[in-house]
Structure 1
Amino acid sequence: MQAVIFDMDGLLIDSEPFWKQAEYDVFSSVGVEVTSELTALTAAMTTREVTEFWFAKQPWYDASLEEVENRVVERVKYLIETQGQAMQGVHDLLNSLQQAKVKIGLATNSPKDIIPSVLQRLNIADYFMAYSSADEVSQGKPAPDVYQLTLEKLGIEAHQCIAFEDSLGGIKAALAAGIKAIAIPHPDEFDHDKFDLAPHKLKNLSEFNHQLGKTLLARS
């Protein structure tokens, strides 16, 4: 195990509620009726995809899509920088990987501007050798692009690497890039059979150990 790549939202930081809050605040402000049923569909989208989704449902005319998208990003950044909390096991696992000289990367569908806010809020920036956003590639997760870019930045082959993901789209992206993915589902979804796609599943990052990583990579 020469490298580990982490997803960000919902895995390193409990930011999913911030995205929902920002989505409601910003799109409501331009006249969109935001419903919980429809926000369930936008959870795995990039910020641009979410903006285009709501515009297609209920168009607005007093601001460009880019302006509205930027408002969402700025709102999420503010919430992260003032309220963000690390998920269970984040600091201990990062420290353990660093001590073992394992390269650490990050691959997220979130805008690139948000990544430094998360790393600084959690005081974990020094652990990461590379990070990539869907902003930098042609397609976000579940396409493999963001993982492939992070592998390139780390100088690592996919078969030497493990990914941690909390969403089905993220797991699909990692597997499509040739990386063994460990699912860390939200507790409400832990028993959902969709996560059977992942080679392994844990309740939180604290349950991971290096032997598990080696065993996983040894599987054909």
Structure 2
Amino acid sequence: MLKDKKAIIFDMDGVLVESEDIWKQAEYEIFSSLGVRVTEHDSKRTQSMTTEEVAQFWYQKFPWKGTTLKEAEEMVVQRVMELISMKDCATLEIRPFIKKLKSQDYKIGLATNSPEKIIPTVLKKTRTTDLFDMVSSADFEMKGKPHPAIYLNTAKKLKVMPEECAVIEDSETGMEAAKKAGMTVIAYTKGNKDISLQWADYKIDRF
């Protein structure tokens, strides 16, 4: 699986932390308070979007007054950070797993569609701050995943070629981005048999 690889790049949400329900809760609380009628159907559509895209999505459906899109986005981010700090959401065995890779001289990267300011909260929760050589957020990309830019730029920061990277992803959107970047894709399935593996080269169920 890791033959000829020099770097392992991790997605963050759903891989380092089990945060899908946290994002749902934060978005429901904030956008409902702004007068948005948040539905389960529409929430599923926003799962793979950046926070900025999510705010735009809800605003187009239910335009609100008195709060800018940027302020709404910031409110969601702050709530997510609070919930991550409060909840027992760190993925089981993730620190020992990354620590072992690090001891085998792999470079360790992080590439997330989430805002940059959330990353330190997640690394603190998972006790992995000292294990990452480079972290990247889609905040600084023209487009988030499934566009491959964030993975290509993370490889560049790690000073490795894309084909020397293996990526661990739990979402189809993220797997597509990594595959388009020319990297080996490892799907983290958590035992979910419904997850699409069309972009995956390998799969693991747990760490």
| TM-score bin, normalised by smaller chain | over 0.9
Shift of 1:84: 4.4
Matching of residue 81 in structure 1 with residue 78 in structure 2? no
**Structure 1 runs (4+) greater than 3 angstroms displaced:** none
Amino acid at match of 1:86: A
Matching of residue 99 in structure 1 with residue 103 in structure 2? yes
Q: Distance in 2 between matches of 1:138 and 1:132?
A: 13
Shift of 1:195: 1.3
The equivalent of 1:181 in structure 2 is 185
The equivalent of 2:9 in structure 1 is 5
Q: 2:185 touches 2:199 (CA, 8 Å); kept in 1?
A: no
Amino acid at match of 2:73: E
Structure number with the higher helix fraction is 1
The equivalent of 1:30 in structure 2 is 34
The equivalent of 1:68 in structure 2 is 72
Q: 2:22 touches 2:84 (CA, 8 Å); kept in 1?
A: yes
Alignment of 1:122-161 (within 5 A): 122-161=126-165
SS in structure 2 opposite 1:5? strand
Q: Distance in 2 between matches of 1:87 and 1:172?
A: 22
2:204 pairs with 194, 202, 205, which one?
202
Amino acid at match of 1:138: M
Q: 2:189 touches 2:195 (CA, 8 Å); kept in 1?
A: no
SS in structure 2 opposite 1:164? strand
TM-score by length of 1: 0.89
SS in structure 2 opposite 1:197? coil
SS in structure 2 opposite 1:116? helix
Amino acid at match of 1:196: Q
Q: 2:12 touches 2:112 (CA, 8 Å); kept in 1?
A: yes
Q: What percentage of residue pairs aligned between the two structures are identical?
A: 42
Amino acid at match of 1:51: A
Shift of 1:85: 2.5
User: For 1:91-141, what per-residue CA distance to the aligned partner results, in whole angstroms no more than 9, with x for missing partners?
Assistant: 121111111011000000000000011001211100000010000110000
TM-score by length of 2: 0.95
SS in structure 1 opposite 2:196? helix
SS in structure 1 opposite 2:8? strand
Q: Distance in 1 between matches of 2:35 and 2:89?
A: 31
SS in structure 2 opposite 1:101? coil
> What's the Cα RMSD here?
1.1
Amino acid at match of 2:166: I
Q: 1:174 touches 1:181 (CA, 8 Å); kept in 2?
A: yes
